[in-house]
Amino acid sequence: MPTKKTNSTPANWRLIKSRDIADCRVFKIVGETFKHPDGRQDEFYINKSADWVQCAAIVEDKGIKKVILVNQFRFGARKTSWEFPGGIVDANETPIQAAKRELLEETGYIGTKAKLLASYSPNPAIQNNLAHIVLIENCKKVADLNLDANEEIQLKLVDIQKLDSLVASKKIFHCIAINVVYFLQKFLLKIPKKNK
């Protein structure tokens, strides 16, 4: 058995082989065998998915910047969840293109200015994909919703300054949506860093 090292830089394991276990429409489960430089190897299970995108869509309402939130039933949580419009980035899309498409489909809104705020790994222990946050400004309602077969969505415009209270009250509880709140406030409200 190898000696356990503490407080040292972890080694990079090398992928040896990969096998499909399950294809679940929006993601695949694969078993991937990795080998450590010391010779150990083991199989690890990875949730492979396309990248995701979340839209921080801004609407000006009487001089107040508001963000579009969507409320929809989430089968994993078995309850409704207030979130930002978003979904899967299709193979032929950039995150900004996907954000614009998802925003129009889920809300009927379009914007005139889009910017990628952040890209991060939702769970690097078991997932391979990235989640992208796209800021879309100057949004206006131009169409009806164009939802998938099992989607039912309620829309709400929320003052950006009130997002923290929605997180604190657990009305926003999706960790990816909470990341959007953080990056949106950091970008738009220019939250100063606290001195240590």
pLDDT in tens, 45-100: 999 999 999 999 999 988 899 999 999 999 999 999 999 999 999 999 999 999 99
∠ CA 166-168-170, rounded to 5°: 70
Q: DSSP character for 195?
A: P
Between residues 124 and 146, the one the model is more confident about? 124
Question: Quick one: pLDDT at residue 193?
Answer: 53
Question: Quick one: pLDDT at residue 1?
Answer: 55
Arithmetic mean of pLDDT over the chain? 91
Between residues 151 and 181, the one the model is more confident about? 181
Query: What digits encode the pLDDT tens for the residues 149-168?
Result: 888 889 999 999 999 999 99
Tokens of 48: 């492979």
Decide if 171 contacts 69 (C-beta within 8 A): no
Tokens of 73: 């039933």
Between residues 38 and 188, the one the model is more confident about? 38
Taking Cα atoms as reference points, which of 153, 144, 162, 154 lies closest to residue 61?
Answer: 162
CA distance 85 to 79: 17
Taking 60 as the threshold, does the pLDDT of residue 191 lie above it? no
Global pTM reads 0.87
User: Exposed, middle or buried, 144 (CB in 10 Å: 0-12/13-18/19+)?
Assistant: exposed
Question: Quick one: pLDDT at residue 176?
Answer: 94
- Per-residue pLDDT, averaged over 10-32, amounts to 95
Instruction: Spell out the long-range contacts of 78-82 with Cβ–Cβ below 8 A and sequence spacing 24 or more.
Output: 81/172, 81/173, 81/174, 81/177, 82/156, 82/166, 82/171, 82/172, 82/177
Q: Quick one: CATH architecture of 50-188? A: Alpha-Beta Complex (3.90)
CA distance 161 to 54: 19
Query: What digits encode the pLDDT tens for the residues 126-143?
Result: 999 999 999 999 999 999
- Per-residue pLDDT, averaged over 102-119, amounts to 95
Question: Quick one: pLDDT at residue 120?
Answer: 95
Distances (CA, A) of 73 to 25, 31, 78, 79: 18, 30, 7, 5
